[in-house]
C-alpha cells in the first residue's frame, strides 16, 4: 500500500526528524560527556547505583527515538531518492547493532553485576580496591562506547538540517 506525501509534508517530516535526531544525539552525548565524568567522582557503590538509575531511565527512550528517526529518514530517502537522507537513515539505524553487540553484551551486564556486589558489600562498608578499579573502568568504558551511539546520530541530524536548507 502506498501513500502520498506532499512536498510540505515531506519538509515538515524532515524538520521534525532532524530536530528529534539532534535532540536524541545531544541527550545521548550528555550521558558520556557530562554524566560519566561526574559519576567517576563518586564513591563506587554510589556511582554504580547512580549509573543504574540513569541507565534505567534512558535505555529504552533514546535508542527507540533514534530508530524512529532512522525510519523517518529512510521513508524520506525512499520518497525523494536522496542519498544523503539514506545515509542519515543508516547512521541512525547503526545504533541498534552497536548497542546490542558492544554495549549490552559487554558492559551493561558486568556493571549490573558489580552494582549487586557493591550493594551486598554496603552492609559491611567495604569495597575492595580491585572491585573499585574494575567498576570505575567499566563505567568509564561505557561512557566512551556510548559516544559511538551519539556521534552517528548527531551526524544524521546534521545531514537532516543541511537537507532542509539546501
The pLDDT tens digits of the residues spanning 122-165 come to 655 566 788 888 889 989 999 999 999 999 999 999 999 999 99
Of 82, 90, 79, 72, the C-alpha closest to 163 is: 82
The predicted model scores a pTM of 0.85
DSSP 42: S
Place of cell 562506547: 145
CA 28 to chain centroid, in Å, comes to: 4
* 45-90 confidence digits (pLDDT tens): 899 889 889 988 988 899 899 999 999 999 999 999 999 999 999 9
2-14-155 Cα angle (round to 5): 125
Provide CB contacts within 8 A for 147, sequence distance 6+: 29, 32
Separation CA 96–CA 66 (nearest Å) = 9
Q: Is the pLDDT reported for residue 166 higher than 90?
A: no
* 5-28 confidence digits (pLDDT tens): 899 999 999 999 999 999 999 999
What 3-state DSSP class applies to 6? coil
What 3-state DSSP class applies to 2? coil
C-alpha cell at 28: 545521548
Separation CA 136–CA 147 (nearest Å) = 17
Amino acid at each position: 500500500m502506498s501513500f502520498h506525501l506532499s512536498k510540505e509534508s515531506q519538509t515538515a517530516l524532515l524538520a521534525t526528524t532532524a530536530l528529534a535526531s539532534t535532540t536524541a544525539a545531544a541527550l545521548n552525548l550528555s550521558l558520556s560527556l557530562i554524566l560519566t565524568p561526574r559519576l567517576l567522582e563518586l564513591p563506587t557503590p554510589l556511582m554504580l547505583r547512580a549509573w543504574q538509575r540513569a541507565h534505567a531511565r534512558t535505555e529504552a527512550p533514546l535508542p527507540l527515538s533514534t530508530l524512529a528517526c532512522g525510519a523517518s529518514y529512510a521513508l524520506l530517502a525512499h520518497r525523494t531518492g536522496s542519498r544523503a537522507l539514506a545515509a542519515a537513515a543508516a547512521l541512525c539505524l547503526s545504533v541498534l547493532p552497536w548497542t546490542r553487540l558492544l554495549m549490552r553484551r559487554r558492559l551493561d551486564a558486568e556493571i549490573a553485576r558489580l552494582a549487586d556486589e557493591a550493594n551486598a558489600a554496603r552492609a559491611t562498608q567495604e569495597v575492595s580496591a580491585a572491585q573499585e578499579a574494575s567498576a570505575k573502568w567499566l563505567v568509564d568504558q561505557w561512557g566512551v562506547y556510548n559516544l559511538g551511539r551519539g556521534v552517528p546520530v548527531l551526524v544524521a541530524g546534521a545531514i537532516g538540517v543541511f537537507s532542509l536548507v539546501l
